[in-house]
């Protein structure tokens, strides 16, 4: 426990030092990386930092990759979901495989959030002022993130484990042919397991994630924007994502063939006052909670709640909204199928369907001739 407490203190000290030196960061930068991947996590209200132990740990807490048994070999995960009534597509694919040293694992993750088939009306008018609808073409606005993860089991005793891990991530954002950016960042994570208790921490963007934007409007497109009363964006700019810390605690207990795993998480953002349950400047706190019930490690039922936000009625009174979620999972030999049904947490009650798959490609057992 002393080693784990020291690790937590070090992470907070590092973030405080970074906070002092970042005065011009943009709020909600790279926010697509806060949505969360995997139907299991979505069904639990994204409360998985302490208990995550599959391929999606590369995103949630890279330390959790070290908890995957080497016997599972190569593990592959994929997810598809649609947001805002199908307008936005959110997809993920990842894999993890063990090193020769069974205490270490490598993970690779690719995430895409995009809105496709957006009509481009900048060329709607001809030079003589006539309208030509044939000039309308479509484009996509998409965000990509590629994560390379490494995890290791540092200390394993009879009743406890300490796992650590980290990510190096590359962020690519593209808006048609008009603008694009490259970004780079680093995440760190840790899990401590003692008996049935699991504790977890993830520090995201600890070095800050820098997105360098480049705008590529043509001269004709610039003229259209100016003539229609729009401001031209900066040709070159840098967007900075400030650090955030995710903390979690989970406890597992069993009754006959049923296993219960409740978990509570807390997200601490450092980019100023946000509309969260505990809102302050510069740090805001956003709690979440989830419960998973499994039967014989075959059927999984999940429920969670997250993203508590304050809204206002027409009469000026305040009320809180939240993002509820339900999920179900099936383990079919080496294949796990997960589904989640979750609300975006806004006043319009828009729900999304999330489906993900996970497959273990176990290595073949070596046979010794003569036996």
Domain ranges of the chain: 2-361
Confidence class for position 124, pLDDT limits 50, 70, 90? low
* Parallel, antiparallel or unpaired: strands 197-204 and 244-251: antiparallel
CB 189 within 8 A of CB 164: yes
Chain centroid to Cα 252, Å, comes to 24
270, pLDDT greater than 90: no
Distance, in Å, from the CA atom of 290 to the CA atom of 322, rounded to the nearest integer, reads 13
**What are the tens digits of pLDDT across the range 8-33?**
443 443 444 334 334 345 666 788 88
What is the predicted pLDDT for the residue at 21?
Answer: 39
Q: Which tokens is 282 given?
A: 């510069």
Q: Which tokens is 129 given?
A: 């002022």
Place of tokens 């598809």: 80
CATH of span 2-361: 2.40.160.40
Say what percent of the chain tops pLDDT 70. Answer: 81
Whole-number mean pLDDT of the chain?
83
Confidence class for position 78, pLDDT limits 50, 70, 90? very high
Give the predicted TM-score (pTM) of the model. Answer: 0.83
132, pLDDT greater than 60: yes
CB 14 within 8 A of CB 202: no
Query: DSSP secondary structure string, 254-288?
Result: EETTEEEEEEEEEEEE-SS--SSSB--SS-EEEEE
Cα first-last separation, the chain: 46
CB 304 within 8 A of CB 48: no
**What are the tens digits of pLDDT across the range 203-260?**
999 988 888 888 877 777 777 667 667 666 666 778 888 899 999 999 999 998 999 9
**232 burial level (CB within 10 Å; 0-12, 13-18, 19+):** exposed
């Amino acid at each position: 426990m002393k080693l784990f407490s020291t690790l937590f203190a070090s992470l907070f000290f590092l973030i405080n030092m970074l906070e002092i030196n970042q005065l011009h960061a943009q709020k909600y930068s790279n926010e697509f990386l806060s949505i969360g991947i995997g139907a299991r996590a979505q069904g639990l209200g994204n409360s998985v930092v302490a208990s995550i132990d599959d391929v999606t740990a590369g995103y949630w807490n890279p330390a959790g990759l070290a908890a995957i048994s080497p016997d599972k070999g190569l593990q592959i995960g994929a997810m598809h979901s649609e947001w805002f009534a199908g307008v936005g597509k959110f997809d993920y694919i990842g894999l993890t495989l063990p090193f020769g040293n069974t205490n270490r694992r490598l993970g690779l993750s690719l995430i895409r959030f995009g809105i496709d088939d957006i009509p481009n009306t900048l060329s709607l008018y001809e030079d003589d002022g006539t309208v030509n609808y044939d000039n309308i073409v479509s484009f996509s606005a998409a965000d990509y993130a590629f994560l390379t993860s490494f995890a290791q089991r540092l200390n394993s005793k009879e009743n406890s484990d300490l796992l650590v891990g980290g990510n190096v991530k590359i962020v690519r954002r593209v808006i048609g042919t008009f603008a694009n950016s490259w970004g780079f960042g680093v995440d760190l994570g840790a899990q401590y397991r003692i008996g049935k208790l699991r504790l977890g921490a993830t520090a995201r963007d600890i070095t800050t994630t820098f997105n360098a934007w480049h705008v590529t409007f043509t001269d004709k497109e610039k003229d259209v924007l100016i003539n229609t009363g729009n401001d031209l964006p900066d040709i070159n700019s840098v967007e900075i994502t400030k650090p955030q810390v995710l903390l979690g605690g989970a406890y597992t207990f069993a009754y006959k063939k049923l296993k219960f795993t409740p978990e509570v998480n807390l997200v601490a953002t450092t980019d100023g006052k946000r509309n969260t349950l505990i809102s302050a400047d510069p740090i805001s706190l956003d709690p979440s909670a989830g419960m998973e019930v499994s039967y014989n490690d075959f059927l999984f039922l999940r429920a969670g709640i997250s993203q508590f936000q304050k809204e206002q009625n027409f009469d000026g009174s305040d009320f809180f909204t939240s993002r509820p979620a339900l999920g179900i999972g099936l383990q079919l030999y080496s294949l796990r199928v997960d589904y989640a049904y979750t609300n975006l947490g806004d006043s319009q009650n828009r729900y999304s369907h999330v489906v993900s798959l996970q497959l273990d490609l176990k290595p073949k057992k070596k046979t010794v001739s003569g036996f």
